[in-house]
Amino acid sequence: MTIPRPRRILPFALLAAAGLFFWLQRPALQSSKFPAPKDFDILSSAVRHIRSDYVDEADPRRTMEGAFQGLMGSLDVMSSYLDAGLMTKAATPRKDKLFDIGLAIYKRPGVFPVVVGVGEGSPAEKAGVKVGDAVSAVDDRSTLSWSYNELRFVLKDADRKPVKIRLIHENSTSEKTLDRAPAYPVTLTWTVEKGTSGVVRVHHLFPGAAAEFKTVVLPRLSGKKEPLILDLRGCREGEIEEARAFVNLFLKNDRAGTFEKKGGQKDIFACPADPIVPDLPLVVWVSPATMGPSEIAAGVLRDLKRAKIVGTATTGLTAEQKLFPLEAGDGLLLTTGVFVLPSGEKIFSKGLTADAKIDLDKQTRAAYLEKTIGLITGR
C-alpha cells in the first residue's frame, strides 16, 4: 500500500532535525558518557508512533519547524530557526529600516514573551501596551514555541501592513491590531538637564549613531564639566561594530573586551582611536530593554572606569551571531561568540547590574534623575 505523502515526509523531517542535533553534539557523541544509540532508538520509536497511532495526519512543515525550534531553544535564548521569510528579514543590512510596532520583548524557551520596553510614540505605546504584558499570539499564531529572534523578526516587515497581537495583562486577555511604523525615526535625542552636561537618548546603535553624536551632541559639550548622561533605556537593537565606535567616543583601549568562540578562539573588541570625549564623567541609564550592542557599550564603559550605571538589570543578549542558510531557503541564526568584559566577566545571559538600582515598577525619567543626582553628589 502506498503511504500518503505527509506520512512519507514526516519521518524525514524528524530525522533531519535529529541529524542536525547529533551533528551539533559530535564532541559529546565521542564520549562514552553520551548514550547515542539509545537516543536514536527513542527518536525512531517516536516517529513510528506518530506514523501509526497519531489521531490525524501530521503537517510535515509544522513538524519540521517545531523540531528545529525545540533544538534551537535548547542552545541559548538567542539561537533560532528561521523560516524563509524570516531569513530575508534577518539578512536585511539595515534592520532599522524595517517597519515595526515599537516593542522590546524578552523571550525564554517554553514561556510566552514578555514586554520589557515600549518605544515612545510607537504604535504599541499608542495602543496601550504596557511593560510586563505577555504576547501570547501574533496574527493568531501562538508565540509559545518561538525564539526571541523569531518573534523579533515576525514583528518587523518591509511594509506597513498591520499586525494583530494577543496580550495577557495580569488576569485578562485582549487583542490589538497595530499599524507598523518606522522603527527609528530618529537616532538620538538631546535634552538639557540641570546639574548635568545633558541627557543623550540613544534609540539604536546601527551605523551612523556615533557619527550623529559627533554632529549633534559634541558641539553642546564645550566647556561642560558635569556628568553627561547616556540614556540607553530602550536601545534594543544595533550592530556590534557601531557599539565599538560609540564606546571609542569616550575611551581608547586596544582590548576593551573579547568575543569567546568555539575552540578557545578569542576575537578582540578594540577601541584604538583617540576619544573625542576623553574626560567628561559619564552616567549610563539602562533597563531590561537595553539589549545587545548597547549592553556591550554600557558594560565596557563601566568596566574600564569611564561610567557609572543607573537602572535595572539588563537581559544579557551580548552575543555575536551568524546566519546559516539551509537548502529550502530557511536557516539557522546561531550564537558563534559571547562577549567578555576586560575584567573577565561574562554578561551573556546574565546581564548587567547597576551601580544605583531602580525598581522595575519605578521606571520613570524622574526616578532615574533622582538616582543619578544622588550618585553624582554622593547623597
> Is the CA virtual torsion 370, 371, 372, 377 positive or negative?
positive
pLDDT of residue 326: 85
pLDDT over 80 (residue 286): yes
Q: 324, 326, 294: which is closest to 311 by C-alpha?
A: 294
Among 12-21, 100-109, 290-299, the range of highest mean pLDDT: 290-299
pLDDT over 80 (residue 197): yes
pLDDT of 331-372, one tens digit each? 889 999 999 999 999 999 999 999 999 998 888 999 999 999
236 vs 55 pLDDT, higher one: 236
Q: Position of cell 529550502?
A: 328
The H or E element that residue 374 is part of is helix 365-377
Contact between 168 and 181 under an 8 Å Cβ cutoff? The reply is no
Taking domain 188-377, whether its CATH number is 3.90.226.10 is answered by yes
pLDDT of residue 69: 65
pLDDT over 60 (residue 33): no
- Give dist(CA 134, CA 136) in Å, integer: 6
> Is the CA virtual torsion 36, 37, 41, 43 positive or negative?
positive
Q: Position of cell 548597547?
A: 294
pLDDT of 107-150, one tens digit each? 988 899 999 999 999 999 999 999 999 999 999 999 998 999 99
pLDDT of 41-91, one tens digit each? 665 666 566 566 666 665 555 555 666 666 666 778 899 888 899 999 998
Residue 379's pLDDT band (boundaries 50, 70, 90)? Answer: low
Class of domain 99-182: mainly beta
Tell me the C-alpha to C-alpha distance, in Å, between residue 45 and each of 39, 42, 50, 65, 70.
10, 5, 9, 20, 18
* Residues forming beta bridges with residue 261, ordered by sequence position: 337
pLDDT of 139-196, one tens digit each? 999 999 899 999 999 999 999 999 999 999 988 999 999 999 998 989 999 999 999 9
For the chain, the structural domain boundaries read 5-74, 99-182, 188-377
pTM: 0.85
Q: 217, 195, 209: which is closest to 243 by C-alpha?
A: 209
Question: Given this chain, do its domains 99-182 and 188-377 carry the same CATH topology?
Answer: no
pLDDT over 80 (residue 16): no
